Amino acid sequence: MPDAVHPMHTRALIRHACVRVIRDFPDVKALMDGRVWPDRSEHWLADELPACGVYTLSEQTLESDISPDPEERRIDLAIEILARLTTSVDDALDALCLAVEKAMRIDAVGIAMGAIADAARIEAGLAPLAPVRVDGALRHTADVLLRMELQSTEIGIAVEGDREIGVAVLTYALEYRRAYPLLVLPDFLLAASGWDVMPADGRIDMVSKTVFTPGANGVPPTTTPDTSTPQQTGIPDAILDHLDEALRDAPEDES
């Protein structure tokens, strides 16, 4: 299922972003010469080693006590590195793992997610996404990563036909929050509250009302304006009628 803000699943976006970050990192580029793919098979077909494949092992939805559910998920991502079997294969694999670990930074993956998402949106005929401010810093809307951690590294030898290959698999846990569409909502036009002053009799005794100027977000509101022209405010007639009736019968709080 495509995500709400770009035309691919978020775990696919994360996987492709990791490939871009690993492939373009100088140390990896010097060792692998661009032989990094976003799947579990291509690197096994490579004519030359070392090579690397990045693929998803699993995905889980995380439990949350927040309402509404933020829909946070965790994916386990495998980065599988292949090297020719020589007497120094362990040193070669360790050097390749070190280069990948240095490349895999959460900020770099987030930036790559934004670039890939924008390219995919443009290809689909959609506009690029604007950045959003998170914890005081601007981030791309598609950068929904929360945490990233290297969980384990497994090293061994694989036999394929008549050849043996050195293999190292780095498993990363990445947590992210599903992105939702950036909604364009109508202007917030009216704030009103009423009080039934003791002793309570079921009648509104005092009303406080603030109407905001349509289309003027951020402009100081107008307090207690004329509500006789609902077509100018967009406020439903029934609400205005109820407020007018309450205002006629109750003193108004100007504070």
pLDDT, tens digit (0-9, with 9 covering 90-100), for 99-135: 999 999 999 999 999 999 888 888 888 888 878 877 7
Q: Last residue of some domain: 177, 208, 230?
A: 177
**What pLDDT was estimated at residue 215?**
55
| Judgement on whether residues 212 and 120 belong to the same structural domain of the protein | no
With a CB cutoff of 8 Å and minimum separation 6, the contacts of 220 are none
Q: What is the pTM of this model?
A: 0.68
Mean pLDDT of 238-249: 58
Considering its fold, how many domains does the chain have in total?
Answer: 2
Output the CA angle 17-18-22, nearest 5 degrees.
120
At residue 246, the pLDDT reads: 56
Q: Both 204 and 122 in a single domain?
A: no
Contact 132, 138 (CB under 8 A): yes
Q: Which residue in this structure is represented by tokens 């909502």?
A: 185
Give the CA angle between residues 5, 6, 8 to the nearest 5°. 130
More confident residue, 6 or 49: 49
Give the whole-number percent of the chain exceeding pLDDT 70. Answer: 73
For residue 174, pLDDT over 80 is answered with yes
Average pLDDT, the chain: 80
| 57, pLDDT greater than 90 | yes
Q: For residue 126, what are the domain limits?
A: 10-177
- Alpha-carbon distance values, 16 to 62, 75, 115 (Å): 23, 14, 11
